Chains A and B, each alone.
Chain A
Amino acid sequence: MSILSKESICLNAVAASKRDAIQQCGKLLVDVGCVVPQYVEGMLAREEIMSTYLGNGVAIPHGQFDNRGDILRTGISVLQIPDGIEWEPGERAYLIIGIAALRDEHVAVLGNLAEVIDDEAVAEQMKTTDDVNVILDYLNKEN
């Protein structure tokens, strides 16, 4: 089972709030069997302590250290919100990347994500594409 698959990507989503976006992103991880529902509560709690907004319209919500017991296997989810949702005052997030990691199996995917954030043209494509393969190709790229 791969870390990131079509099943854990949701395009063209709409979120009523940041909280709603995190819940949708977490539910993708629940639905593919990466985490138990309790983990999503941990994602919300983590966000209360410190924002996971990275810049350039990307946020990476994940649980806290103590939520590791709620992870069944390492996985990543992607919630694309073309209209964006305010994540911090004055900052909107368009790509919400949910993370649940037991060990380091996801490091390559996050490395690819760092490159996407650095490249505005690619980031823009990821935020607006209606083709799930575009997301998969960038994030699952082998280095």
Chain B
Amino acid sequence: MAKSINSADVKMIIFACEAGMGSSVMSVSSLKKKLKKADVQGVDVVHVAARNIPETAQLVIVHRGLSKVAVAKAPNAVVLAFNQFLNDPIFDEVVAAFVAKEVITGNVG
């Protein structure tokens, strides 16, 4: 079942891609900029290789092709899968949820 978390409780957003050196780095840069623009503070955004997702992860954003790996690595995390590395609509939805301090519900699992 998909998990939920209150955005106000999220300290770190984790972007994962296969190698952790290209696509997720770009996505982190893009989301950080959007969060800054929206004046959202107190949440860090980092990139990792999918196989290195920490078990304690709270919110993991991952390309749809790797969503199963993310759920396996962090069964308690809210996992959001996207299709495009830059400008996927989900990035704006995440920013809006942080601005409004809403609950974020995963779309995987």
Q: Which residues of B contact A50 (CB under 8 A)?
A: 18, 63, 65
Which of B18, B26, B33 meets A65, CB within 8 Å? B18
Per-residue contact bits, chain B 1-42, to A (CB 8 Å; 1 contact, 0 not): 000000000000000001111110110111001000000000
Interface residues of A in 9-59 (CB under 8 A from B): 46, 49-50, 52, 54-55
* Cβ-closest chain A residue relative to B19: A65
Per-residue contact bits, chain A 108-124, to B (CB 8 Å; 1 contact, 0 not): 00110110011000000
The interface size bin for chain A is 20 to 34
Give A67 to B20 CA distance when docked, in angstroms.
12
Q: Which residues of A contact B18 (CB under 8 A)?
A: 46, 49-50, 64-65
Also in contact, A62 and B84, with CB within 8 A (given A50-B63, A50-B65, A114-B30): no
Interface residue? B49 (CB, 8 A)? yes
Q: Are B25 and A110 in contact (CB under 8 A)?
A: yes
Q: How far is the CB of A80 from chain B (nearest CB, A)?
A: 18
Interface residue? B86 (CB, 8 A)? yes
Give A60 to B84 CA distance when docked, in angstroms.
14
Interface residue? A107 (CB, 8 A)? yes
The interface size bin for chain B is 20 to 34
Q: Which residues of B contact A106 (CB under 8 A)?
A: 21, 25
Q: Secondary structure of the B side of the interface? A: mixed
* Cβ-closest chain B residue relative to A55: B86
Interface residues of B in 91-108 (CB under 8 A from A): none
Interface residue? A84 (CB, 8 A)? no
Give A65 to B17 CA distance when docked, in angstroms.
10
Give A68 to B18 CA distance when docked, in angstroms.
12
Q: Are A113 and B65 in contact (CB under 8 A)?
A: no
Q: How far is the CB of B80 from chain A (nearest CB, A)?
A: 18
Residues of A that sit less than 8 Å from B by CB: 46, 49-50, 52, 54-55, 60, 62-65, 67-68, 99-101, 104, 106-107, 110-111, 113-114, 117-118
Q: What are 5 A-B contacts with C-beta separation under 8 Å?
A: A68-B19, A100-B21, A104-B25, A110-B29, A111-B29
Known pairs A62-B22, A104-B25 / 14 extra A-B pairs, C-beta < 8 Å: A46-B19, A49-B18, A50-B18, A54-B23, A54-B86, A55-B84, A60-B23, A63-B19, A65-B49, A101-B21, A101-B22, A106-B21, A107-B25, A107-B29
The 8 closest A-B pairs by CB, nearest first: A101-B21, A111-B29, A62-B22, A114-B29, A110-B25, A65-B19, A99-B22, A60-B22
